[in-house]
């Protein structure tokens, strides 16, 4: 695990700041689709854009960003544009 993925000395002040912190450091993106009765399917993607495309193809699908140390956050559809900006800044 790199020090880049370590929590900052000062914690993010809001849940939005934490979400952005995780998205900026994400190394993997997942889509999770509810199949009903507690069943789900999970697909991993190397980029956020691919995960968003995968989620858009089917209903009831959520996108998650995950860091190498296991921290994660859900990326809601209303956050897609901002999340893509953050990821683009990192590239």
pTM: 0.84
pLDDT per position as a tens digit, 35-55: 888 899 999 999 999 999 999
Report helix, strand or coil for 80.
helix
% of the chain surpassing 70 pLDDT: 86
């Amino acid at each position: 695990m790199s020090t880049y993925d370590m929590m900052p000395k000062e914690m993010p002040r809001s849940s939005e700041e934490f979400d952005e912190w995780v998205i900026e450091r994400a190394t993997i993106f997942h889509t999770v689709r509810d199949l009903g009765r507690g069943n789900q399917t999970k697909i991993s993607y190397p980029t956020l854009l691919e995960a968003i495309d995968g989620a858009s193809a089917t209903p009831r699908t959520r996108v998650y960003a995950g860091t190498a140390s296991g921290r994660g956050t859900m990326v809601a559809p209303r956050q897609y544009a901002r999340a893509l900006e953050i990821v683009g800044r990192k590239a």
